Structure 1
Amino acid sequence: MTGPHPARLTGTSGAALKYDLLTALGAEACAADKHRQRTSLRLMTLITARYDWRSDSLATGQTEIARLWSVDTRTVKREMARLREREWLWLKVPAAKGRVACYGLGIAAILRDTRPVWPAIGPDYVARMAPEPAAPDAPDAGNVVPFAPVVAGQGPWAAICQAFQAGEPGAYAAWIAPLRCAAEGEAGRLVLHAPTGFHESYVRSHYLGELARLARRQGIAAVVLTGPDGVDRGA
């Protein structure tokens, strides 16, 4: 897999995700130094004014961004480069003659970098964004977040997890390992449950296509993803 798949953040869970991301960025900025505050504020302004949540695209020229930020285009180039280095933006389509560059939003990186300030937002936010694992026998790791091991055992879901982790171990640990397999192979379907609506929305937007591809290798025709309410919001 190369870059994130286009996010289609629609419906109730999509709206919640938008506010949760902006809240995380704002809280992280408030806890940072003035230079990082400025970068975060500029990104938040750009997201609010020009980012298309439905297609995960930000296609705005440097001159327009400079006017929005009240800076010159050299500052825009530096800030955009800084945001790419932090992986908060990723280049989808390079600029070309008569066409501006198109960027996607690095949601996983934003969540990774803002996680330390989540407790300052509130325990409800932490519970929503990083629910505790349900396994009762999980060892106490203190403040260390363990790297998710490859799923043991046999069956299609175990094989899919192993293949996914081999390609993207970080994404697997953060987004795939918390999924619960409710049924595999029945009526040619793999049924997965996400722990939260936010988790479901993100996996559906970014990784469901890859999960479906890996499932077809195991002879499974369709992957059904639901949230904690058990509702499949797929098309």
Structure 2
Amino acid sequence: MQLPRPVGREAASKKYDILSALMAFALARDKIVQRQVLRVMALITTRYNWQRDELSMGQGEIARLWSVDERTVKREMAKLRASGWLVLKRQGARGRVSTYGLDLARMLADTRPAWPNIGEDFITRLTPEEGRGAAPSNVVPLRAPPSPVADGTIWFAAQARLHSEEPALYGAWFHPLAEVGAEAGCLTLAAPTRFHATYVEQNLMERLRAAVRAVDPAIARVMIVS
């Protein structure tokens, strides 16, 4: 789904549509997802620049907004990156916070099952004309595996190795993982879902650990959270 930025004469209604989709999606899910989506909506409504697609906010500021500690912020932001909703545009450095973008098309695709709870008019409004009434197809279009996003972390270097070894496998299972932190010889990664985390742990952990240790031998353990 190609989604134009919500700017111009209809910007306000487009923004409300996106927030409505998030709200309906959250209300149809469990408390954990509800809290996560509420946090995303708080970031959008307080700090997100719709026109420039930029969210620049320090972890301390986010912690105050969410009423949590900074460790929770770091973990939750990593999960949002793993889900594809949050996209790192510029890595933070000394005296400068990280800048993120939002994949609004991904948000709408993920929340689509909840659209009927809002109404048929909402579905019609958010469905491109060329997609209405089209016959269903079981053909999945092929997409080139995504490349790692350079951010200067241990995980980026390991991702680059995994991508060069087997791009399709990387795109399906390793690219969605996001680094939470590396402390005391343990690299912690966030997966978008519990199933994703379990699959990687049970089937791909040796390959993952080898790639990480190849770029940083000091890492003795890799842990995946969801």
1:36-88 CA distance string (max 9 Å, x none): 11000001011100111111100000000000010000010111011111111
- The answer for the alignment partner of 1:199 in structure 2 is none
- The answer for the alignment partner of 2:58 in structure 1 is 61
- The answer for the alignment partner of 1:85 in structure 2 is 82
- The answer for the alignment partner of 1:16 in structure 2 is 13
Q: Give the letter aligned to residue 72 of structure 1.
A: D
Sequence identity (%):
51
Q: Distance in 2 between matches of 1:75 and 1:55?
A: 27
Secondary structure of 2:56 counterpart: coil
Q: Distance in 2 between matches of 1:34 and 1:90?
A: 24
> Following TM superposition, by how much is the alpha carbon of 1:112 offset from its aligned partner in structure 2, in angstroms?
1.0
- The answer for the alignment partner of 1:114 in structure 2 is 111
- The answer for the alignment partner of 1:230 in structure 2 is none
1:78-136 CA distance string (max 9 Å, x none): 11011111111100000111100000011111011001011111000000111454798
Q: Give the letter aligned to residue 37 of structure 1.
A: Q
Q: Distance in 2 between matches of 1:135 and 1:67?
A: 43
In structure 2, the CA distance between the partners of 1:20 and 1:90, relative to structure 1 (3 Å rule), is same
Would you say 1:124 and 2:128 are equivalent positions? no
In structure 2, the CA distance between the partners of 1:55 and 1:131, relative to structure 1 (3 Å rule), is closer
- The answer for the alignment partner of 1:95 in structure 2 is 92
Q: Give the letter aligned to residue 39 of structure 1.
A: Q
Q: Give the letter aligned to residue 28 of structure 2.
A: A
Q: Distance in 2 between matches of 1:24 and 1:83?
A: 17
Q: Give the letter aligned to residue 54 of structure 1.
A: Q
Aligned length: 145
- The two structures, once aligned, show a CA RMSD in angstroms of 2.8
Would you say 1:44 and 2:62 are equivalent positions? no
Q: Distance in 1 between matches of 2:9 and 2:138?
A: 30
In structure 2, the CA distance between the partners of 1:135 and 1:129, relative to structure 1 (3 Å rule), is closer
TM-score by length of 1: 0.55
Q: Distance in 2 between matches of 1:20 and 1:56?
A: 17
Q: Distance in 1 between matches of 2:52 and 2:93?
A: 20
In structure 2, the CA distance between the partners of 1:105 and 1:135, relative to structure 1 (3 Å rule), is closer
TM-score by length of 2: 0.57
Q: Give the letter aligned to residue 71 of structure 1.
A: V
List aligned pairs for 1:69-218, cutoff 5 A.
69-131=66-128, 133=130, 139=135, 141=136, 147=140
Ranges in structure 1 where 5+ consecutive residues have no aligned partner: 149-164, 169-235
